[in-house]
Amino acid sequence: MLDDRKLAVLRAIIEDYVSTTEPVGSKTLVDRHNLDVSPATIRNDMAVLEEQGYIAQPHTSAGRVPTDKGYRLFVDRLSRVKPLSPAERRAIETFLAGAYDLDDVVARTVRLLAQLTRQVAVVQYPSLRISSVRHIELVPIMPSRLLLVLITDTGRVEQRGVELPEAIDEDSIAQLRAVLNACLDGRPLADAALLATDLPARIAPGDRTNAAAVLSVLLESLAEKKEEKVVFGGTANLAVRDFSAGLRDVLEALEEQVVLMRLLGETGESAAITVKIGAENAVEGLHDTSVVSTGYGAGDQVLAKLAVLGPTRMDYPGTMGAVHAVARYVGQILAES
């Protein structure tokens, strides 16, 4: 029902609109792209496209503008992910290679994505739930207070104060630390839950209540969604385009971890690239916004997600290319460390 030319017209409309920000008319279209037909023909095609909901006109006698549905079709069938230029690839590589630690990797990734796409970048920290324990450390602060430090194989370091029911001495701490590490080292953090039954038996009776307190804090940090940390950047890119309306909504959404998580949550668990266009985003106030996201991680395992957020009128192939490439490189970096 949509022949090849109509699809070509839709593609042309989207490409033009994305680059000019202005509704595009039949005349402009035949000029700019070398379609070998007359404007009138294009108008007929446009009428059909409009009837089917792929494009719309802001008002009578203005050019056409793509609808969400139009972008959807474009992304699904009319475009390919655009590979980055060699220069861009090199830039990514050198930029990420210099990172010191996980915080730095994440921070650099955000900057990189924002710069490449000239849009807002969102990056989630590798999930605690999926990571394995590399080391657990207990540091005494006061007689009845410890600092629990958790280091994962993705390089993430979590810290948490533990209030103990009873005072504890160095030896007991050492024992507890040894047991915890013996049980959890190299294993997925989720296994900590299994310890609940196992732990008391391995601990001197007098320290069991304290051990339970430590464990419960450990489980807590695992359970809490708060730990799904998300970072963003590139908001300055929002100010430049004629996007002032809705800008506030976007900034608000970005600062609300919960909302960000929801946005990323819609990304599938695979390494594929997900595109949510306009109203497809469940989040209120982001209906003029698209989100291009993907999972990343060391190897196949998806440890976390990253995304780019911009107006529905964005360069999808380019953005998708950048998201894809950056996710891959970050994965490599994580695998190496």
Partner DNA sequence: ATTGGCACTCGGGATAAAAGAGTGCCAGGC
Partner DNA sequence: GCCTGGCACTCTTTTATCCCGAGTGCCAAT
Q: Would you tell me which residues interact with its own copies (CB under 8 A)?
A: 100-103, 134-135, 137, 139, 141, 147, 149, 151, 155, 157, 159-161, 233-236, 238-240, 244, 247-248, 251-252, 254-255, 337
Cβ proximity to its own copies: between 31 and 100 the closer is 100
Cβ proximity to its own copies: between 77 and 226 the closer is 226
Residue found under tokens 């080292």: 185
Give the shortest CB-199-to-its own copies separation in angstroms.
22
Asked if 202 interacts with DNA (CB under 7 A), we say: no
Asked if 47 interacts with DNA (CB under 7 A), we say: yes
Given DNA, its own copies, none, residue 248, with its beta carbon under 5 to 8 Å by kind, binds its own copies
Rounded to a whole number of angstroms, the CA Rg of the chain reads: 26
The one-letter amino acid at 329: Y
Given its own copies, DNA, none, residue 175, with its beta carbon under 5 to 8 Å by kind, binds none
Given its own copies, DNA, none, residue 59, with its beta carbon under 5 to 8 Å by kind, binds DNA
Asked if 10 interacts with DNA (CB under 7 A), we say: no
Alpha helices for 52-191 (secondary structure H): 68-73, 86-97, 102-117, 170-184
Cβ proximity to its own copies: between 41 and 235 the closer is 235
Cα–Cα separations (whole angstroms), residue 298 to 114, 126, 136, 197: 22, 10, 21, 32
- Phi, psi (rounded to 5 degrees) for 46: -60, -40
Given DNA, its own copies, none, residue 144, with its beta carbon under 5 to 8 Å by kind, binds none
Cα 182 to chain center, whole Å?
34
Residues 172 and 213: beta-carbon distance below 8 Å: no
Residues 154 and 130: beta-carbon distance below 8 Å: no
Given its own copies, DNA, none, residue 36, with its beta carbon under 5 to 8 Å by kind, binds DNA
Cβ proximity to its own copies: between 45 and 288 the closer is 288
Length of the chain: 337
From CA 90, how far away is CA 318, in angstroms rounded? 16
Given its own copies, DNA, none, residue 46, with its beta carbon under 5 to 8 Å by kind, binds DNA
Cα–Cα separations (whole angstroms), residue 282 to 73, 196, 264: 19, 38, 11
Segment interacting with DNA, rule: CB under 7 A, options 34-42, 68-76, 98-106, 146-154: 34-42
Asked if 64 interacts with DNA (CB under 7 A), we say: yes
From CA 246, how far away is CA 289, in angstroms rounded? 9
From CA 328, how far away is CA 134, in angstroms rounded? 23
Residue found under tokens 């999926």: 130
Asked if 24 interacts with DNA (CB under 7 A), we say: yes
Give the shortest CB-186-to-its own copies separation in angstroms.
12
Given its own copies, DNA, none, residue 178, with its beta carbon under 5 to 8 Å by kind, binds none
- Please report, in angstroms and rounded to a whole number, the separation of the first and last CA atoms in the chain: 52
Give the shortest CB-19-to-DNA separation in angstroms.
14
Given its own copies, DNA, none, residue 242, with its beta carbon under 5 to 8 Å by kind, binds none
Residue found under tokens 């507890």: 176
Segment interacting with DNA, rule: CB under 7 A, options 58-66, 84-92, 133-141, 273-281: 58-66
From CA 203, how far away is CA 168, in angstroms rounded? 13
From CA 326, how far away is CA 211, in angstroms rounded? 42
Asked if 44 interacts with DNA (CB under 7 A), we say: yes
Give the number of other Cβ atoms within 10 Å of residue 290's Cβ.
25
Segment interacting with DNA, rule: CB under 7 A, options 62-70, 158-166, 184-192, 257-265: 62-70
Residue from the set 7, 8, 32, 39 that interacts with DNA by CB under 7 A: 39
